[in-house]
Amino acid sequence: MNTPYDYATSVALVRSGSDYFDRCCQLIDQATQSIHLQTYIFTSDHTGQRIKKQLIQAARRGVKIFLLLDGFGSKDLEEQDIADLKSNGISIRFFSPLYKDRPFRIGRRLHHKLIVADDYKAIIGGMNISDHYSGHNAEHPWLDYAVYLSGDVCEKITRIAMSLFNRRFRPVSVFHAIKNTNQGIAVRIRQSDYMRGKKEIPSSYKEFVQLARNEILIVNAYFLPGYRMRRMLQKAVRNGVSIKVMLSAKSDVPVVKRAMNYYYQWLFRNKIAIYEYLPSNLHAKLAVFDHQYVTIGSFNLNYLSEYVSVELNVDINDVAVARQFHAELDHIIETSCHRVERQVVRSKNPLSRLLDFISYQAVMYSMRVLYLLTRKDRINYFR
């Protein structure tokens, strides 16, 4: 492989809903030294209040807590909640707020979602702190996944969290060299932060697509891959690789859903099977290659994730884990998805097809404009 792997003591798939939030609360409850929590959206709803309460309880027993939230995604977090967190000694910062000092310039977005406790246990995935992902009030939670890790490899995650926090506060961790004993489960912590020259997640996708010989299964919330990824997928199909993509039948961003609908014809032309998830919004971002490799985290296959946002994924090179992930996705496809047929898409009325085309052009143009407007500074900005 191009980049060496570290080794985790344990790895487990984490599902949205109670599985994810119960695990987060367990990590917070068991922490004795430090917690880093970083996310795009932190709301003041029921789920946000639950996590806030757990963080405050941990802070009161002496755990050092560093909370980094995106300045745009978490802009609706109520001032009283912020005050409560700060008054209990929790260090909280808002990453890259919308700027007023330089008109028409915006900051890159903190899109990754992580929690790491005591440099030894961590969860990385796609879930925000919101009722959408917990299924509060018996609502079906948005479909999303994360990965739980334990072991010395989690020190790397803490380092990433600290560097984004800008090291304004004194680190509470004493790092040791990670012992690569070739024992455990092979994992890589992968970043995407184009403004800082980090392109590891796109490199992982490229590597895994090129390695695939039998099957690729992609689950992606906002699937609008660029030219290079499309070329790689086309080449994989020509080499006999079967490709499936699981997308959402409905989306929290309707214009993006229409843009993805326009993309379906390209997928059909290249013999890529399309499955739409029906029960709720699909928000997951992961892929499994040949029952061997997995990449999972916050990274969408689109222009924003590659060039504008700060993203975090975990690569896993382990047959047993990959088979577990694949079995989970196969079950979802079988029980909660329908396969999109080409003739159904072709039968759509002309106005609907036109709206799909206009949406696609608008979304792709908007993504490029957002990149042009994004500040290219290599430092972090906070509120």
pLDDT exceeds 90 at position 52: yes
Structure tokens at 343: 């003739």
Fold held by 210-373? Endonuclease; Chain A (3.30.870)
Among 201-215, 331-345, 362-376, the least confident range: 362-376
Average predicted confidence (pLDDT) for the chain: 91
Work out the number of other CB atoms within 10 angstroms of the CB of residue 22: 12
Distance between CA atoms of residues 343 and 36, nearest Å: 49
Task: Return the pLDDT at 2.
Answer: 65
* Arithmetic mean of pLDDT, 144-170: 87
pLDDT exceeds 70 at position 174: no
CATH code for the structural domain at 6-190: 3.30.870.10
pLDDT bucket at 345, cuts 50 / 70 / 90? confident
Task: Return the pLDDT at 136.
Answer: 79
Q: Give percent of the chain above pLDDT 90.
A: 78
pTM for the full predicted model:
0.92
Distance between CA atoms of residues 13 and 7, nearest Å: 16
- DSSP 8-state class, residue 266: H
Residue range(s) of every CATH 3.30.870.10 domain in the chain: 6-190, 210-373
Distance between CA atoms of residues 110 and 113, nearest Å: 9
Read off the pLDDT of residues 83-92 as tens digits, 9 standing for 90 and up.
Answer: 999 999 999 9
As beta bridge partners, residue 338 has 276
pLDDT exceeds 70 at position 173: no
pLDDT bucket at 73, cuts 50 / 70 / 90? very high
Task: Return the pLDDT at 135.
Answer: 84
Read off the pLDDT of residues 231-281 as tens digits, 9 standing for 90 and up.
Answer: 999 999 999 999 999 999 989 999 999 999 999 999 999 999 999 999 999
Distance between CA atoms of residues 218 and 56, nearest Å: 38
pLDDT exceeds 80 at position 171: no
Task: Return the pLDDT at 378.
Answer: 65
> Are 209 and 230 in contact, with CB atoms under 8 Å apart?
no
- DSSP 8-state class, residue 144: -
